[in-house]
Structure 1
């Protein structure tokens, strides 16, 4: 007899998952899921030389001892699915060039998609099954994150470390065809094993946290398929995920669960057009907008009005790191990123590399950037920048929604261009467009093997 508990949070999530799969995912949702796949690929193609990725890949190859089943993007290395998912999760995370779900301060796709790819490659699942599992898994993850945030984040937890495993478990459970009871156990197992604190920012550990979320979710579904059990009240129980990892009001839970399938949170994702963390995008966009008006004038100072939490985050990191001394620290240093964008006239991975973060001119300008809390800013999607020059003149620019947010949507063509730009030197000519075509038609493919072959750099 089934031990499925439909009255619990994991039970209601399971019911949504199975209903959504049975009814079929709507075409606009599928298209958004495919855009998010494309976004993750452009986020990772330029990351193959990152030390965190190389170290993790070396470790995974040693752990695998020659085993295979799924591939690491861009390297062509075959690993057991759980290890491939972990390394690909790190690839997605390391440049901080992926997605952001701003209401929850999280990168939702990076913990789910690697597990989906690894499970689908090993299991030979169809393209439609992959796209639908990703979309539904993300909705489960975002619903759980919405229940836990923002106080889970304020406690110091990495949101994707908390919930990425739950989304990955949901998606892999669908791909494996688990029944309701098994699916509930997979979700419960992932809910009982979240990991990741934000002290990791600026180090290799953040990439590990994301990779670990992908691996945890994949393994949770695999264990549940074998009869491994978890508590049905893993989320709302007296010692469950909700109580131990947030300070939210329990009253919000029912409304969030009721919205599943009618309000698709996948459409609230933000896409990054420059490789740095989300709070930095508005300031970098402002700097590059003002720069053509500078006319060679010497900068005296740069003042940026931002949401209050941005000031708190930036001040806290400067207190911990001082000036950047590594690429991860430069990526997470807003003042460095703005100074680099102004002086280099662009913002790419080169602007977070050692030649830039050790540049005396960049350091000097970074020290002349001041952030001020703007009580009128509801989120960090926007900011106002004023550049004051040595002659006393000034130029200002305001951004309410930086490019890539839901209110300033990035077209598919821009995502393809970014894949091509960051794939230069990694991919052969024409490969970026072939990958894009394969992604955007994935739901018509018999499996994902053709796409995976394209993701090998040879």
Structure 2
């Protein structure tokens, strides 16, 4: 069978275990946590006004409550999940796997008044299909300059929507093929509003692929592995990776490998911020001379490239993706929230001065960016050190369910009293809801 046919067979025939369904609930709550504080972000306001200006019905924009088409809802909600960079990360593929899949399948579920159980099953299977494709394409797809979720999120979204609607295998193959042939997104977008647009547009594209397939629109069955197909066009990997990656479908659930962010900033900054906040109580009033982080070599390369490209941050997006800024801001504030990427912080002379005294050393012994070490040298010559193997939120240091709820509450201050707890309870009981609108109707700031 072709790759598309193998994925369609998996999607059509697989029973999702209860522990996978529970993890899927966690991923949904994590996305709501990532987006609830983003409704007033300038990028979201622009995308919202553009995407919804012609009205429509069937689905809704989270937190803003706008009724619109499923296509527009998928677009704006995908951007909402992305814009604060507070969402999930699948570190093995450098990607945010849920942010393009959930908005597409949730918009479709809302329009169809699907059950929560059906949504959970479709989302879990869509994420797994997406991660299987990403496992094949990465890391060289990323090294070439692609946004990994831009390449594969449409495949996951098309897969999830196809499962939710009960498409037959033949039409699933076409939905997946359409998504594979229309993948996009350049990593040069990092630090700009365009990255959130890519996530939203990828969600919409996956939903479009599904909708076209239901109408009889066709795609090549060899869209992935064929001559000038997705594999050849998007990566430099060995074709021998394809069969093993697909063989694990349904036996090893990759979604358990997701990292959950506990602070609203880019994944490679989480280890450094955690180290900073661990050392700070030991500083005892001493003045920092210099901070040095020992990091995975890719982290040093990425951070240095961004420093050279951005200079000092000039927007919230640039601040979010500036490791040195995030570390300096966390040290001076004693915590890290969205306030640490706001203009008042990234233009603060004290933050800028400390940022300039932060260095990175590549540590070949660190296979991933799940851990790092920090040496803080003070002006009196003393040194404090902290080393972490897995920062909080990684699979090796999992965030408990209760903490996910607390994080959502922390960023849901604009919601009406009691609403955050109701949303949390609704997510945990999603498999018992006959209509997902019992959840989506709650996702409003002003009601």
Category of TM-score, reference length = shorter chain: over 0.9
**SS, match of residue 109 in structure 1:** coil
The superposition leaves residues 114-150 of structure 1 with CA deviations (integer Å, 9 ceiling, x where unpaired) of 0011000001111110000000000000000000000
Worse-superposed segment, 297-306 or 426-435 = 426-435
Give the deviation of 1:447 after TM superposition.
1.2
**SS, match of residue 300 in structure 1:** strand
Give the deviation of 1:66 after TM superposition.
2.3
Give the deviation of 1:260 after TM superposition.
0.3
When normalised by structure 1's length, the TM-score is 0.97
When normalised by structure 2's length, the TM-score is 0.99
Which aligned pairs between 1:261-410 and structure 2 lie closer than 5 A?
261-410=250-399
Mapped to 1, the partners of 2:161 and 2:174 lie a distance apart of: 12
Is 1:8 the counterpart of 2:16? The answer is no
Mapped to 2, the partners of 1:434 and 1:46 lie a distance apart of: 17
**SS, match of residue 405 in structure 2:** helix
Mapped to 1, the partners of 2:404 and 2:83 lie a distance apart of: 18
Matched positions, count: 446
Mapped to 1, the partners of 2:285 and 2:168 lie a distance apart of: 66
Mapped to 2, the partners of 1:364 and 1:107 lie a distance apart of: 32
Match of 1:444 among 429, 432, 437: 432
Which aligned pairs between 1:193-204 and structure 2 lie closer than 5 A?
193-204=182-193
The superposition leaves residues 136-173 of structure 1 with CA deviations (integer Å, 9 ceiling, x where unpaired) of 00000000000000000000100000000000000001
Mapped to 1, the partners of 2:170 and 2:353 lie a distance apart of: 59
**SS, match of residue 24 in structure 2:** helix
Mapped to 2, the partners of 1:227 and 1:423 lie a distance apart of: 42
Mapped to 2, the partners of 1:76 and 1:49 lie a distance apart of: 13
Is 1:27 the counterpart of 2:21? The answer is no
Mapped to 2, the partners of 1:345 and 1:429 lie a distance apart of: 28
Q: Which runs of 5+ in 2 are unaligned?
A: none
The superposition leaves residues 195-223 of structure 1 with CA deviations (integer Å, 9 ceiling, x where unpaired) of 10100000000000000110011111111
Mapped to 2, the partners of 1:313 and 1:254 lie a distance apart of: 31
Mapped to 2, the partners of 1:264 and 1:313 lie a distance apart of: 29
Mapped to 2, the partners of 1:125 and 1:49 lie a distance apart of: 29
Q: Which residue of 1 aligns with 2:49?
A: 58
Is 1:17 the counterpart of 2:8? The answer is no
**SS, match of residue 306 in structure 2:** helix
Which aligned pairs between 1:42-441 and structure 2 lie closer than 5 A?
42-62=33-53, 65-424=54-413, 426-441=414-429
Q: Which runs of 5+ in 1 are unaligned?
A: 1-6
Mapped to 1, the partners of 2:383 and 2:68 lie a distance apart of: 55
Instruction: Give RMSD over aligned pairs.
Output: 0.6
Mapped to 2, the partners of 1:447 and 1:256 lie a distance apart of: 34
